[in-house]
């Protein structure tokens, strides 16, 4: 007999697949299967998409994917182009017909989701979204992290004020920055919330015994570049791998969101953070002396990680 957790998981799968129509013969009232629609989505939104990369991303058998791609080529939906960087590699792209078909499917899905959400009271929608994000985060996290002395969650009301406050306090105590640094942090978090795009941006909060002990932000800079911002760990919580875990979450999400590069701006005196950036594969690409936050001896650094 399955244990209670396994039974509950399977029950939720049965419920959810029925709710969103995954049991229908054709997804979104179309002649396409779920796998085919997902292939269309990945090709439409990806850059330099290859069959090998697509099979890995979707965890599809290479032979099965090859048959899907072959059918789509015969239908005039998909084409293969030779990579300009490597003549041995074929890149996938939608034809004009394929783009029209995908646009119609995408619009139909938007309408179906909107209709489903109309059944949910407005007061419960935030809980629904947070629950879905929680499921995604838990299933994406490595299993071995379950015994960590802290938990990682996404942001919720009240977090931005706390993050701004703690940055102001800590950077004043540790580096002598004045209130203009706190104002900069407030501006960054306000812009993040005002323009928040959940599919491509995240804020992670580290908690220990229900207390916030760290945070990090990943924000969209362009279609292919993300910005890492406001990494901090409380002094009393340092040495437990919190910073490294926050970095890992950000990099994993950036890859999942198909960014090609992460960039960050920091100061040369933040030795521990710089060590962590280098450890995670970031490279120093620029330096500039500046006067800010009541200090006239700062050296700003730009670091990049190619994904």
- Tens digit of each residue's pLDDT (9 = 90 or more) over 186-195: 999 999 999 9
* Structure confidence at residue 217 (pLDDT): 98
Centre a 10 Å sphere on the Cβ of residue 117 and count the other Cβ atoms it contains: 13
Q: Is the separation of the CB atoms in 282 and 303 below 8 Å?
A: yes
**How far are the Cα atoms of 166, 229, 262 from residue 302, in angstroms, in the given order?**
23, 12, 11
Residue limits of CATH 1.10.10.10 in the chain: 4-119
State whether CATH 3.40.630.30 applies to domain 133-306.
yes
Helix (H, G, I), strand (E, B) or coil at 206: strand
Q: What does the pLDDT average to over 282-295? A: 95
Q: Rounded distance, CA 19 to CA 11, Å? A: 12
Question: pTM for this structure?
Answer: 0.58
Characterize the bridge pairing of strands 295-306 and 283-292: antiparallel
Q: Rounded distance, CA 229 to CA 67, Å? A: 43
pLDDT band (50, 70, 90) for residue 3: confident
List the Cα angle 248/57/148 in 5-degree steps. Answer: 25
What are the pLDDT digits (tens) for 133-146?
Answer: 777 766 765 544 44
Q: Does the CA dihedral 266-272-278-282 come out positive or negative?
A: negative
- Strand ranges (E), 37-150: 78-82, 90-94
Residue limits of CATH 3.40.630.30 in the chain: 133-306
What are the pLDDT digits (tens) for 120-132?
Answer: 887 787 778 777 7
What φ, ψ does residue 109 adopt, rounded to 5°? Answer: -65, -40
- Strand ranges (E), 84-192: 90-94, 151-154
Given a cut of 90, whether residue 161 has pLDDT beyond it is: yes
State whether CATH 1.10.10.10 applies to domain 4-119.
yes
Residue whose C-alpha is closest to residue 32's, from 91, 77, 88, 87: 77
Residue whose C-alpha is closest to residue 227's, from 193, 199, 254: 254
Given a cut of 50, whether residue 203 has pLDDT beyond it is: yes
Candidate ranges 87-101, 110-124, 222-236; pick with highest mean pLDDT? 222-236
Beta bridge partners of 263: 227, 304
* Structure confidence at residue 81 (pLDDT): 87
* Structure confidence at residue 2 (pLDDT): 59
Q: Using CB atoms within 10 Å of the CB of residue 241, give its burial: 0 to 12 exposed, 13 to 18 middle, 19+ buried.
A: middle
- Mean residue pLDDT of the chain comes to 88
Sheet of strand 225-233: strand arrangement? 151-154, 202-208, 211-220, 225-233, 261-267, 295-306, 283-292
Counts for the chain of helices (H) and strands (E), in that order: 10, 9
What are the pLDDT digits (tens) for 42-53?
Answer: 899 887 788 888
């Amino acid at each position: 007999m399955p244990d209670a957790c396994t039974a509950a998981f399977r029950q939720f799968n049965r419920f959810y697949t029925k709710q969103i129509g995954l049991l229908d013969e054709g997804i979104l009232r179309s002649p396409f299967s779920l796998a085919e629609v997902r292939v269309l989505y990945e090709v439409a939104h990806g850059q330099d998409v290859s069959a090998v990369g697509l099979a890995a991303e979707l965890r599809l058998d290479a032979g099965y994917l090859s048959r899907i791609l072959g059918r789509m080529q015969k239908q005039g939906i998909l084409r293969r182009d030779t990579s300009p960087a490597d003549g041995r590699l074929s890149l996938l792209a939608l034809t004009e017909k394929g783009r029209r078909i995908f646009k119609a499917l995408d619009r139909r899905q938007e309408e179906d989701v909107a209709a489903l959400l109309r059944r949910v009271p407005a007061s419960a929608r935030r809980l629904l979204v947070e629950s879905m994000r929680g499921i995604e985060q838990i299933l994406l996290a490595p299993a071995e992290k379950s015994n960590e002395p802290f938990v990682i969650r996404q942001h919720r009301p009240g977090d931005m004020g706390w993050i701004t406050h703690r940055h102001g306090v800590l950077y004043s105590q540790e580096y002598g920055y004045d209130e203009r640094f706190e104002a900069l942090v407030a501006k960054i978090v306000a812009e993040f919330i005002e323009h928040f795009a959940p599919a491509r941006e995240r804020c992670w909060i580290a908690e220990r015994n229900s207390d916030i002990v760290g945070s990090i932000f990943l924000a969209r800079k362009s279609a292919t570049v993300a910005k890492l911002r406001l990494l901090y760990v409380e002094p009393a919580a340092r040495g437990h791998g919190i910073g490294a875990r926050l970095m890992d979450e950000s990099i994993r999400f950036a890859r999942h969101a198909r960014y090609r590069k992460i960039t960050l701006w920091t100061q040369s005196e933040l030795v521990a953070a710089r060590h962590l950036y280098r450890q995670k594969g970031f490279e120093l690409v620029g330096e500039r002396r500046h006067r800010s936050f009541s200090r006239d001896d700062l050296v700003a650094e730009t670091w990049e990680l190619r994904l």
